[in-house]
Amino acid sequence: MSIAQNIADIEKTLEGTSCRLIAVSKTKPASAIAEAYEAGFRRFGENKVQEMADKYEELPKDIEWHLIGHLQSNKVKYIAPFVSLIHSVDSLKLLAEINKQAAKAGRQIPCLLQIFIAQEETKFGLSETEAIDLLQSAEFDTLENIRIVGLMGMASNTDNNAQIRQEFKGLKQFFDRLAQTIQHPRVQMQELSMGMSGDYLMAAQEGSTLVRVGSAIFGHR
């Protein structure tokens, strides 16, 4: 199967849902992205700042770049001028740095709060309480160059589909609750980023608006 065909097949399965596909191109060469680009696809996800910045330089400028991996404050400056959406915001400190670099770049950067939903110690993310505290903090209110447009979550790495579905349902519930309770001009609950190669269909059924699919498109890493 070609990369373009894999993308077309996945997009077909998402037809009729409100879910869009992000092709996760981490570790894959720019030529693999170019192949998808030539087939008309524009939305790509990377988990490392340096890799994303290098690919941005090399590839056409109308690509939508999604940063999906853990982001260190000292690296924000390398992607602030061009990143489309940062999925992995997990602290107010990071958000303040994104705000600073966005202001320098003369733009507003859309971000998602990454919420911890897995039964694992290793995944990054905020608890629900931490997310609410962040959004209600006085400091957040001063960050005029960022917008929070939704939430991101990673389910447990398990074969237990019932557990994964439960984690997606929980994140969707929290998303809906924030949509109803947070009144702030720079907070809109529009995007729910959940689902990867193994579980994107389930995620779409549970209300995901952005699935992040890598190996099912580009093959094993």
Under the binding rule (CB under 6 A), the answer on residue 24 touching ligand PLP is yes
Backbone angles phi, psi at 139, to 5 degrees: -65, -40
CA 33-39-42 angle, to 5 degrees, is 55
197 touches ligand PLP by CB under 6 A: yes
In whole angstroms, give the CA distance from residue 100 to residue 94: 10
**Does position 134 bind ligand PLP by CB under 6 A?**
no
CB of 140 to ligand PLP, least distance (A): 23
Query: If binding is defined by CB under 6 A, does position 26 make contact with ligand PLP?
Result: yes
CB of 103 to ligand PLP, least distance (A): 27
47 binds ligand PLP (CB under 6 A): yes
User: In 3-state terms, what secondary structure has residue 45?
Assistant: strand
Binding mask of the shown chain, residues 136 to 175, with x at each position contacting ligand PLP by CB under 6 A: ------------------x---------------------
213 binds ligand PLP (CB under 6 A): yes
- How many alpha carbons fall within 13 Å on the CB side of residue 2? 11
Report CA Rg, the chain. 17
Tell me which H or E stretch contains 150: strand 146-153
Which residues lie near ligand PLP (CB under 6 A)? Answer: 24, 26, 47, 68-69, 154, 196-198, 212-216
